[in-house]
């Protein structure tokens, strides 16, 4: 019997997560994500943005998708083009979020067909290939391989797949978090014992503030901006973070005094979240959506009237979406604030804005489109930053360093393969296995490197 794994992407990096497992010659792919940090201006964009699917030399039995974030599910339509009809197992929630991501990617590149990593047809094929893998469910994949979906915390619908093959157990963490967030409760892996673990290592050897402390700082800062009559823009990932931020503000009591709006793709993900978590999400959340009937006029009023308010809108890194329109409207006002609440890739506009200084200038061109989406006009607009931009709030949905160690020690594998983290921190762990998991082999593969779990 032999079991091995090759990272096709997402090894010593965050982005492009895709791990190819081999069980006695049968292949199972876990995740097929994009690298959101690759700039579309990069001459090698098309090869860099997707995992290296060319390393798949035989049609896999299936794909298992851990959750609906872009860096885990975003390239699945590309896989479906290469391997049509191969089933892709995921939770219902992940299906809803992934579909949104695939369609968003098509939309972002609608004017740049040469940058498309998949077509509408590939998305349709991919949607047809989706098979349900409910949280807590267990599925026989054939060839003696089975998979169980363990709840991973992180975001709605996220799972940690646990594979069984000929008496051996392989646990793939996906992205996970042990601490409760406001909406999503933490994972509980107590009592699970396995032979091999492939784990994310985002916060390995990194410290961060606790969720509670960051929540306090965030609420205090929002309130002080609103009280002085300013507007607060919170660019947020539509999946997970938008709902977390909304619920934090909801529970703070700010709603009684100030308007809070959700706009863009976050309205759809908020509806999905309400459907699956009716006891965790405000039942009146839809009343805070920028109104459907006349969205343009409503948005214009929010942008330009003098009422203090909060707007939660994607994208979190200002890569697109209506967050750009609000930034353009508010970045110059010294009473206003822009508050980032998540990871910012250094290649993004969000990063440059977040770490800018008062007086720095940015371009926010206005793009006019016809009804069928064709660009009709681009109006250049420059803005000088005068608004407040506090340090990003660390509302992480990933396991903290101590939680990683406790999780690995609880699972107690013979071999621990670390991925989805920085090269420095993973290398440190490989050199100091006794500080990580005494008695185990700790492995930090490169992309494309085959790791033999069971020879
Ligand atoms: Zn994630």
If you measure from the C-alpha of residue 340 to the centroid of ligand 1, how many angstroms do you get, rounded to a whole number?
Answer: 17
What pLDDT does 420 receive?
A: 97
What is d(CA 183, CA 142) in angstroms, rounded to the nearest whole number? 36
Burial of 4 (0-12, 13-18, 19+ CB in 10 A): middle
User: Between the CA atoms of 434, 436, 438 and 443, what dihedral angle is there, to the nearest 10 degrees?
Assistant: -90
- Looking up tokens 């794909």, which residue turns up? 63
Domain with CATH 3.40.50.10890 in the chain: 211-384
If you measure from the C-alpha of residue 70 to the centroid of ligand 1, how many angstroms do you get, rounded to a whole number?
Answer: 8
If you measure from the C-alpha of residue 233 to the centroid of ligand 1, how many angstroms do you get, rounded to a whole number?
Answer: 23
User: Residue 62 — φ and ψ, nearest 5°?
Assistant: -170, 170
If you measure from the C-alpha of residue 175 to the centroid of ligand 1, how many angstroms do you get, rounded to a whole number?
Answer: 5
If you measure from the C-alpha of residue 129 to the centroid of ligand 1, how many angstroms do you get, rounded to a whole number?
Answer: 22
If you measure from the C-alpha of residue 265 to the centroid of ligand 1, how many angstroms do you get, rounded to a whole number?
Answer: 17
If you measure from the C-alpha of residue 158 to the centroid of ligand 1, how many angstroms do you get, rounded to a whole number?
Answer: 8
If you measure from the C-alpha of residue 231 to the centroid of ligand 1, how many angstroms do you get, rounded to a whole number?
Answer: 29
Q: What is residue 291's DSSP assignment?
A: P
Domain with CATH 3.60.15.10 in the chain: 3-207+396-454
What pLDDT does 345 receive?
A: 82
If you measure from the C-alpha of residue 69 to the centroid of ligand 1, how many angstroms do you get, rounded to a whole number?
Answer: 5
If you measure from the C-alpha of residue 25 to the centroid of ligand 1, how many angstroms do you get, rounded to a whole number?
Answer: 29
| Type and span of the H or E element at 142 | strand 138-142
Sheet strands (E) in 314-407: 337-338, 361-363, 366-369, 375-379, 382-384
What pLDDT does 113 receive?
A: 87
What pLDDT does 200 receive?
A: 98
If you measure from the C-alpha of residue 31 to the centroid of ligand 1, how many angstroms do you get, rounded to a whole number?
Answer: 11
- Burial track 9-48 (b if 16+ CB lie within 10 A, e otherwise): bbbbbbbbbbbbbbbeebbbbbbbbbbbbbeeeeeebeeb
If you measure from the C-alpha of residue 123 to the centroid of ligand 1, how many angstroms do you get, rounded to a whole number?
Answer: 21
In terms of DSSP bridges, do strands 451-454 and 3-9 run parallel, antiparallel, or are they unpaired? antiparallel
If you measure from the C-alpha of residue 116 to the centroid of ligand 1, how many angstroms do you get, rounded to a whole number?
Answer: 23
If you measure from the C-alpha of residue 57 to the centroid of ligand 1, how many angstroms do you get, rounded to a whole number?
Answer: 27
If you measure from the C-alpha of residue 154 to the centroid of ligand 1, how many angstroms do you get, rounded to a whole number?
Answer: 7
If you measure from the C-alpha of residue 230 to the centroid of ligand 1, how many angstroms do you get, rounded to a whole number?
Answer: 32
Query: What does CATH list as the number for 211-384?
Result: 3.40.50.10890
CA-wise closest residue to 414 among 451, 435, 440, 444: 440
Neighbours of 244 (CB within 10 A): 24
Asked whether the ipTM of the predicted complex exceeds the cut of 0.95, the reply is yes
If you measure from the C-alpha of residue 155 to the centroid of ligand 1, how many angstroms do you get, rounded to a whole number?
Answer: 7
If you measure from the C-alpha of residue 126 to the centroid of ligand 1, how many angstroms do you get, rounded to a whole number?
Answer: 20
For the chain, what is the radius of gyration of the CA atoms?
A: 22
If you measure from the C-alpha of residue 361 to the centroid of ligand 1, how many angstroms do you get, rounded to a whole number?
Answer: 32
Token pair of 397, please? 């949905």
What is d(CA 161, CA 137) in angstroms, rounded to the nearest whole number? 10
If you measure from the C-alpha of residue 316 to the centroid of ligand 1, how many angstroms do you get, rounded to a whole number?
Answer: 13
What is d(CA 94, CA 134) in angstroms, rounded to the nearest whole number? 10
What pLDDT does 26 receive?
A: 98
Topology of the domain comprising 3-207+396-454: Metallo-beta-lactamase; Chain A (3.60.15)
If you measure from the C-alpha of residue 202 to the centroid of ligand 1, how many angstroms do you get, rounded to a whole number?
Answer: 10
If you measure from the C-alpha of residue 164 to the centroid of ligand 1, how many angstroms do you get, rounded to a whole number?
Answer: 24
If you measure from the C-alpha of residue 200 to the centroid of ligand 1, how many angstroms do you get, rounded to a whole number?
Answer: 10
What is d(CA 422, CA 12) in angstroms, rounded to the nearest whole number? 6
If you measure from the C-alpha of residue 90 to the centroid of ligand 1, how many angstroms do you get, rounded to a whole number?
Answer: 14
Sheet strands (E) in 290-405: 309-313, 337-338, 361-363, 366-369, 375-379, 382-384
Q: What is residue 136's DSSP assignment?
A: T
What pLDDT does 294 receive?
A: 85
What pLDDT does 304 receive?
A: 95
Segments of the chain scoring below 50 in pLDDT: none
User: Residue 261 — φ and ψ, nearest 5°?
Assistant: -120, 145
Neighbours of 138 (CB within 10 A): 13
If you measure from the C-alpha of residue 306 to the centroid of ligand 1, how many angstroms do you get, rounded to a whole number?
Answer: 37
The answer to whether the CB of 323 falls within 8 A of the CB of 348 is: no
């Amino acid at each position: 019997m032999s079991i091995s794994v090759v990272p096709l992407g997402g090894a010593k990096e965050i982005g492009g997560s895709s791990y190819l497992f081999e069980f006695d010659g049968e292949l199972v792919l876990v995740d097929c994500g994009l690298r959101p940090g690759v700039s579309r201006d990069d001459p090698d964009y098309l090869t860099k943005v997707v995992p290296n699917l060319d390393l798949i030399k035989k049609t896999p039995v299936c794909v298992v998708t851990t959750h609906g974030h872009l860096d885990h599910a975003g390239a699945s339509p590309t896989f479906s083009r290469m391997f049509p009809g191969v089933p892709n197992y995921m939770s219902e929630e992940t299906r809803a979020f992934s579909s949104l991501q695939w369609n968003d990617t098509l939309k972002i590149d609608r004017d740049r067909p040469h940058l498309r990593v998949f077509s509408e047809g590939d998305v349709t094929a991919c949607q047809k290939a989706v098979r349900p893998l409910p949280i807590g469910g267990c599925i026989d994949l054939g060839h003696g391989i089975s998979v169980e979906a363990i709840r991973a915390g992180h975001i709605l619908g996220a799972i940690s797949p646990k594979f069984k093959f000929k008496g051996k157990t392989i646990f793939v963490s996906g992205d996970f978090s042990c601490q409760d967030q406001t909406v999503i409760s933490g994972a509980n892996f107590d009592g699970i014992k396995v032979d091999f673990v492939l784990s994310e290592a985002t916060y390995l050897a990194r410290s961060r503030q606790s969720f509670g402390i960051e929540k306090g700082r965030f609420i205090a800062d929002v309130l002080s901006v609103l009280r002085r009559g300013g507007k607060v823009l919170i660019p947020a990932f539509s999946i997970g973070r938008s709902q977390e931020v909304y619920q934090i503000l909801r529970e703070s009591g700010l709603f009684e005094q100030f308007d809070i709006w959700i706009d863009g793709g976050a309205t759809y993900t908020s509806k999905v979240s309400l459907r699956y978590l009716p006891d965790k999400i405000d039942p009146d959340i839809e009343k805070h959506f920028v109104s459907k009937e006349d969205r343009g006029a409503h948005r214009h009023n929010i942008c330009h009237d003098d009422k203090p308010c909060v707007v939660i809108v994607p994208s979190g890194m200002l890569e697109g979406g209506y967050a750009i329109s609000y930034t353009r409207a508010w970045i110059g006002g010294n009473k206003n604030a822009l508050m980032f609440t998540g990871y910012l890739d250094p290649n993004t506009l969000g990063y440059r804005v977040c770490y800018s200084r008062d007086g720095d200038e940015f371009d926010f061109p206005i793009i006019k489109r016809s009804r069928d989406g064709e660009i009709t006009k681009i109006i250049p607009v420059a803005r000088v930053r005068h608004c407040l931009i506090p340090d990003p709030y660390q509302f992480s949905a990933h396991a903290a360093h101590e939680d990683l160690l406790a999780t690995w020690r609880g699972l107690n594998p013979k071999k621990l393969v670390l991925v989805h983290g920085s090269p420095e921190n993973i290398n440190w762990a490989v050199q100091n296995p006794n500080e990580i998991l005494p008695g185990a082999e700790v492995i930090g593969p490169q992309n494309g490197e085959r790791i033999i779990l069971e020879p």
